Structure 1
Amino acid sequence: MNKQVDAIVIGAGVSGLYQIHQLRQQGVDVLGLDAASDVGGTWYWNRYPGARFDSESYIYQYLFDEDLYKDWTWSERFPAQPEIERWMHYIADRLDLRKSIKFSTRVTSAEFNEATGRWTVRTDQGDVFDSRFVIGCTGMLSAPLTDRFKGQDTFRGTIVHTGLYPREGIDFKGKKVGVIGIGATGIQVIQTIAHSVDELKVFVRTPQYVLPMKNPKYGPEEVKWYKSRFDELKQNLPNTFTGFEYDFTVAWADLTPEQRRARLEEIHADGSLKLWLASFGEMFFEEDVSREVSQFVRDKMCERLKDPELIDALVPEVGDYGFGTHRVPLETNYLEVYRLPHVHAIKVRDNPIAEIVPEGIKLADGTVHEVDIIIMAVGFDAGTGGMSRIDITGRDGMTLRDEWHKETRTSLGMQVHGFPNLFMTGAPLAPSAALCNMTTCLQQQTEWINDCIKYLRETGKTVIEPSAEFERAWIQHHDDLVNATLFSKTDSWYNGSNIPGKPKRFLSYTGGAGTYRQKCKEVADSGYAGFETA
Structure 2
Amino acid sequence: MSATSNDIPSDSRTVPASVDVVVVGAGFSGMYLLHRLREMNLSAVVFEAGTDVGGTWYWNRYPGARVDVESLAYSYSFSEELEQEYEWQERYPTQPEILRYAQHVADRFDLRRDIFFRTRVTAAAYDDRDETWLVRTDHGDAVTARFLVMATGCLSHSKLPEIPGLDRFTGATYHTAHWPHDDVDFTGMRVGIIGTGSSGVQSIPVIAAQAAGVTVFQRTPAYSLPARNRRLRPDEIADMKANYRAFRKAQRESGFGVPTAPATKSALEVSDEERDAAFEVAWESGSLVNLLTAFTDLAVDQEANDTAKRFIHRKIHQIVEDPRTAADLCPEYPVGTKRPCLDTDYYETYNRENVHLVNLRRTPLVEVTEKGVRTSDKEYAFDAIVYATGFDAMTGALTNVDICGRGGVSLKETWRAGPRTYLGISSAGFPNMFMITGPGSPSVLSNMVVSIEQHVDWVADAIEYLDRHGITTIEPVQQAQDAWVDHVNLISGFTLYPKANSWYMGANVPGKPQVFMPYAGGVGEYRKKCDEVAAHGYEGFSLSPKSPASPAAPAGSHRPPAG
Q: Does the TM-score normalized on the shorter chain lie above 0.5? A: yes
Which of 347, 355, 359 in structure 2 is aligned with 1:335? Answer: 347
Residue identity in the other structure for 1:116: D
Q: Aligned partners of 1:247, 1:41: CA distance in 2, in Å? A: 32
Which of 281, 291, 299 in structure 2 is aligned with 1:266? Answer: 281
Partner of 1:423: 434
Q: Aligned partners of 2:320, 2:290: CA distance in 1, in Å? A: 20
Q: Is the 8 A contact 1:105 1:124 kept in 2?
A: yes
CA apart distance, 1:3: 0.7
CA apart distance, 1:160: 1.5
Higher helix share: 1
* Count of aligned pairs: 529
Q: Aligned partners of 1:360, 1:247: CA distance in 2, in Å? A: 49
Partner of 1:402: 413
Q: Does 1:491 align with 2:506?
A: no
Q: Is the 8 A contact 1:8 1:135 kept in 2?
A: yes
Q: Does 1:359 align with 2:371?
A: yes
Partner of 1:468: 478
Sequence identity of aligned pairs in percent? 40
Residue identity in the other structure for 2:359: K
SS of the counterpart of 1:411? coil
Q: Is the 8 A contact 1:276 1:328 kept in 2?
A: no
Q: Aligned partners of 1:341, 1:254: CA distance in 2, in Å? A: 43
SS of the counterpart of 1:417? coil
CA apart distance, 1:128: 0.5
Q: Is the 8 A contact 1:76 1:216 kept in 2?
A: yes
Which of 445, 450, 471 in structure 1 is aligned with 2:455? Answer: 445
Q: Which runs of 5+ in 2 are unaligned?
A: 1-14, 545-563
Q: Does 1:35 align with 2:80?
A: no
Within a 5 Å distance, the mapping from 1:43-122 to structure 2 comes to 43-122=57-136
Partner of 2:192: 178
Greater alpha carbon shift after TM alignment, 261-270 vs 112-121: 261-270
SS of the counterpart of 2:380? strand
Partner deviation per Cα, 1:49-83 (whole Å, 9 max, x = no partner): 00011100000011111111111011110010111
Q: Aligned partners of 1:402, 1:357: CA distance in 2, in Å? A: 36
Residue identity in the other structure for 2:468: E
Partner of 2:209: 195
Residue identity in the other structure for 1:293: A
Q: Aligned partners of 1:52, 1:328: CA distance in 2, in Å? A: 14
CA apart distance, 1:200: 0.4
Q: Is the 8 A contact 1:51 1:185 kept in 2?
A: yes
Q: Does 1:382 align with 2:382?
A: no
Within a 5 Å distance, the mapping from 1:239-254 to structure 2 comes to 239-252=253-266
Q: Aligned partners of 1:275, 1:525: CA distance in 2, in Å? A: 34
Q: Aligned partners of 1:363, 1:440: CA distance in 2, in Å? A: 43
SS of the counterpart of 1:226? helix
Q: Does 1:141 align with 2:152?
A: no
Q: Aligned partners of 1:190, 1:507: CA distance in 2, in Å? A: 29
Q: Is the 8 A contact 2:441 2:526 kept in 1?
A: yes
SS of the counterpart of 1:245? coil
Q: Aligned partners of 2:29, 2:126: CA distance in 1, in Å? A: 23
Partner deviation per Cα, 1:390-412 (whole Å, 9 max, x = no partner): 10001122111122222221110
Q: Does 1:238 align with 2:248?
A: no
Q: Is the 8 A contact 2:191 2:211 kept in 1?
A: yes
Q: Aligned partners of 1:109, 1:2: CA distance in 2, in Å? A: 17
Partner deviation per Cα, 1:141-171 (whole Å, 9 max, x = no partner): 0000036331111110111111011111322
CA apart distance, 1:247: 4.9
- The TM-score normalised by the length of structure 2 is 0.92
Partner of 2:144: 130
Partner of 2:178: 164
Partner of 2:512: 502
Partner deviation per Cα, 1:415-463 (whole Å, 9 max, x = no partner): 011111110112111101x200000111101110010111111011111
Q: Is the 8 A contact 1:59 1:245 kept in 2?
A: no
Residue identity in the other structure for 1:37: T
Partner of 2:303: 288
Residue identity in the other structure for 1:499: V
Q: Aligned partners of 2:253, 2:507: CA distance in 1, in Å? A: 30
CA apart distance, 1:508: 1.0
Q: Is the 8 A contact 1:118 1:131 kept in 2?
A: yes
Partner deviation per Cα, 1:232-251 (whole Å, 9 max, x = no partner): 21211011000012253322
Q: Aligned partners of 1:333, 1:134: CA distance in 2, in Å? A: 43
Kindly report the root-mean-square deviation, in angstroms, between the aligned alpha carbons of the 2 structures: 1.3
Q: Which runs of 5+ in 1 are unaligned?
A: none
Q: Aligned partners of 1:454, 1:61: CA distance in 2, in Å? A: 25
Q: Is the 8 A contact 1:360 1:369 kept in 2?
A: yes
Partner deviation per Cα, 1:467-509 (whole Å, 9 max, x = no partner): 1100000001111110111112221111001111111111110
CA apart distance, 1:254: 6.0
Greater alpha carbon shift after TM alignment, 148-157 vs 78-87: 148-157
Q: Is the 8 A contact 2:279 2:291 kept in 1?
A: no
SS of the counterpart of 1:148? coil
- The TM-score normalised by the length of structure 1 is 0.97
Partner of 1:321: 333
Q: Aligned partners of 1:282, 1:219: CA distance in 2, in Å? A: 34
Partner of 2:6: none
Residue identity in the other structure for 1:462: T
Partner deviation per Cα, 1:364-396 (whole Å, 9 max, x = no partner): 34x111111111011100000111111000112
